[in-house]
């Protein structure tokens, strides 16, 4: 029987084609890279604190930052923040349309309007007209928790259809003043509703979409809900910019968003992809502790390598042979390997520091150079350590020749023929 191909079992979804909009220097939609957004938690009027958080977000991989503009002092703060921000700034507007006009005057790169709490058509069109004249984009930010009461009543709550209807009505107001520099979000805290709302919206309009599960909550639940909703849609080709709405430091939002895009292959890797075994009785070190130390050590180093932390020398290098770099524990030693080849053996206490040093060497000199200067004795030392552990703990799961032979014997065609004759 022919084995199925990936094409047979896993349909692919080409990215949905949309219009493009600009948020300062960042293009959203069309074939532009999917961008990561987050929102400051500082008082916008506190210019220094807000800028400090924006710089931290940018360093964590955030492409666009949103700041609340909920009072005149916040609008005044934006006028000082925007010229000094390393990334485009969007003003978040609720209830008071004149604050949107003030934010535009302050020089924001985009607005977010909630159709559920700025409902007067003349006010909505006044903001859209001013944004049009300044070539500033607006996100229609529909939220399941703050729908316009008449839409909520008509649809019986925050259904996918209700969320999309709210966005479409806002679009109609914009079109009346010839404004279409728009992206849209239809967020809900219920992941199923959120997914269905975005699918429906994607079939209804061709504007770029901003994805998010609103009010996702603290870690780890908020992270799981956000990934479930956002990753599902991205895998279907839906989505042009994303935000993880976590009850946490917003830097965690930016890191999570960037990591998700890198994991899905939708953005070029910026930082380490740390893989680690889940540990077992064979492990010679506290894998969780070493992996956490390694993760913390690499967090801000901008080293785009896949790095493995493995609990034992018996199976570790084989299981992680596709990693750029890794280390496996073995009775007080750390066995450092590059693309599956043992290059150095270090004391257990130096495992993380050795990983850092070798990763930096790879970034500076390249993998071939690092392999060329491998310790000539490292392979033999590791082989001896592996054999010692096999004698103590049992077989090497990567190379159990006797078991493999028994498995092949079961599949022998002669055995099959005999079984058929006895049937």
Q: Give tens-digit pLDDT for 301-325.
A: 889 999 999 887 777 778 888 899 9
Distance of alpha carbon 84 from alpha carbon 176, whole angstroms: 35
- pLDDT for the residue numbered 12: 58
User: Are 20 and 241 a contacting pair, CB within 8 Å?
Assistant: no
- DSSP letter at 404 equals H
Rounded average pLDDT over 26-32: 97
Is residue 35 scored above 60 in pLDDT? yes
Q: Which residues of 40-76 are buried (b: 16+ CB within 10 A; e: fewer)?
A: bebbbbbbeebbebbbbbbebbbbbbbbbbbeeebbb
In this predicted structure, what is the pLDDT of residue 57? 97
Is the model more confident about 290 or about 4? 290
Is the pLDDT at 412 greater than 90? The verdict is no
Q: What is the pLDDT of residues 85-106, one digit of tens each?
A: 999 999 999 999 999 999 999 9
What is the mean pLDDT of the segment spanning 64-82? 98
Q: What would the pLDDT profile of 184-202 be if each residue is shown by its tens digit?
A: 999 999 999 999 999 999 9
pLDDT band at 5 (very low <50, low <70, confident <90, very high): low
Burial class (CB in 10 A: 0-12, 13-18, 19+), 32: middle
Using pLDDT thresholds of 50, 70 and 90, give the confidence band for residue 285.
Answer: confident
What's the sign of the alpha-carbon dihedral 281, 410, 405, 335?
negative
Domain residue extents for the chain: 15-263, 273-401
Range list of β-strands (E), 188-301: 210-211, 241-243, 273-276
Contacting residues for 346 by C-beta, under 8 A, at least 6 apart: 333, 334, 336, 354
More confident residue, 367 or 389: 367
Assign 398 a pLDDT band (cuts: 50, 70, 90): low
213-235: pLDDT as tens digits = 999 999 999 999 999 999 999 99
Report how far residue 259's alpha carbon sits from residue 269's, in angstroms, rounded to the nearest whole number.
Answer: 8
Neighbours of 9 (CB within 10 A): 8
Q: Is residue 278 pLDDT above 90, yes or no?
A: no
Residue 155 pLDDT > 60: yes
Torsion of CA 124, 130, 134, 137, to 10 degrees: 0
Residue 74's pLDDT is what?
A: 98
pLDDT-derived band at 2, boundaries 50, 70, 90: low
Residue 204 is predicted with a pLDDT of: 97
* CB within 8 Å of 19: residues ≥ 6 apart: 29, 30, 180, 206, 207, 208
DSSP 27: E
Average pLDDT over residues 344-356: 92
Strand intervals (E) in 294-420: 306-310, 325-330, 333-338, 341-347
Evaluate if residue 67 carries a pLDDT over 90.
Answer: yes
The mean predicted confidence, pLDDT, of the chain is: 90
Residues 210, 116: Cα–Cα separation, whole Å: 17
Distance of CA 360 to the CA centre of its chain: 24
Domain topology for 15-263:
TIM Barrel (3.20.20)
pLDDT higher than 80, residue 388: no
**Average pLDDT of the residues in 276-303:** 85
Residue 364 burial (CB count, 10 A): 9
Cα–Cα distance between 277 and 167 in angstroms, integer?
45
Residue 339's contacts (CB-CB under 8 Å, 6 or more residues apart) are 321, 322, 323, 324, 367, 371
Q: How confident is the model at residue 168 (pLDDT cuts 50, 70, 90)?
A: very high
Instruction: Supply 179's token pair.
Output: 């404004």
DSSP E strand boundaries for 35-100: 35-39, 64-68, 89-93
What is residue 54's predicted lDDT score, i.e. its pLDDT?
98
Among the residues of 213-249, which ranges form H helices? 221-235
Rg (CA), the chain: 27
CATH of the structural domain 273-401, one choice from 3.40.50.11810, 3.40.50.2300, 3.30.413.10, 3.40.50.11540? 3.30.413.10
Q: What is the mean pLDDT of residues 387-407?
A: 65
C-alpha angle with apex 81: 77 to 84, nearest 5 degrees? 160
Which residue in 186, 244, 254 sits closest to 218, CA to CA? 244
What does DSSP assign to residue 282? T
Q: What pLDDT is stored for residue 95 in this prediction?
A: 93
Q: List Cβ neighbours of 126 (8 Å cut-off, separation of 6 or more).
A: 97, 101
């Amino acid at each position: 029987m022919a084995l199925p191909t990936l094409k047979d079992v896993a349909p692919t979804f080409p990215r949905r084609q949309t219009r493009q909009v600009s948020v300062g220097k960042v293009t959203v939609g069309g074939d532009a890279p999917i961008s990561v957004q987050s929102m400051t938690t500082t008082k916008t009027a506190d210019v220094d604190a807000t800028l400090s958080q924006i710089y931290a977000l940018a360093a964590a991989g955030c492409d666009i930052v949103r700041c609340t503009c909920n009072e005149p002092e916040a609008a005044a703060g934006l006028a000082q923040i925007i010229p000094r921000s390393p990334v485009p700034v969007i003003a978040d507007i609720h209830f008071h349309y004149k604050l949107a006009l003030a934010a535009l005057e302050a020089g924001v790169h985009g607005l977010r309007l909630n159709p559920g709490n700025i409902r007067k058509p003349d006010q909505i069109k006044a903001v859209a007209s001013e944004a049009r004249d300044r070539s500033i984009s607006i996100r229609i930010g529909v939220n399941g928790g703050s729908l316009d009461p008449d839409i909520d009543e008509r649809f019986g709550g925050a259904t996918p259809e209700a969320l999309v209807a709210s966005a479409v009505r806002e679009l109609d107001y914009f079109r009346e003043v010839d404004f279409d520099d728009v992206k849209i979000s239809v967020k809900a805290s219920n992941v199923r509703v959120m997914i269905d709302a975005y699918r429906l919206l994607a079939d209804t309009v061709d504007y770029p979409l901003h994805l998010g599960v609103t009010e996702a909550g603290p870690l780890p639940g908020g992270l799981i809900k956000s990934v479930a909703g956002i990753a599902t849609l991205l895998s279907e080709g839906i989505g042009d910019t994303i935000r993880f709405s976590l009850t946490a430091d917003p830097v965690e939002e930016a890191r999570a968003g960037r990591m998700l895009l890198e994991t899905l292959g939708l953005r070029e890797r910026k930082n380490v992809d740390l893989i680690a075994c889940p540990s077992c009785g064979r492990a010679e070190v506290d894998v969780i502790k070493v992996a956490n130390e390694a993760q913390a050590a690499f967090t801000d180093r901008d080293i785009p390598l896949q790095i493995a932390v493995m609990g034992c020398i018996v199976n570790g290098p084989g299981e992680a042979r596709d990693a750029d770099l890794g280390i496996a524990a073995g009775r007080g030693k750390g066995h450092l390997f590059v693309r599956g080849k043992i290059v150095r053996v270090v004391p257990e206490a130096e495992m993380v520091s050795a990983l850092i040093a070798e990763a930096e060497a790879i970034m500076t000199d390249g993998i071939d150079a690092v392999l060329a200067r491998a310790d000539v004795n490292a392979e033999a030392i590791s082989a001896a350590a592996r054999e010692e552990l096999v004698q103590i703990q049992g077989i090497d799961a990567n190379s159990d020749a006797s078991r493999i032979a028994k498995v092949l014997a079961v599949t022998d065609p002669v055995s099959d023929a005999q079984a058929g004759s006895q049937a």
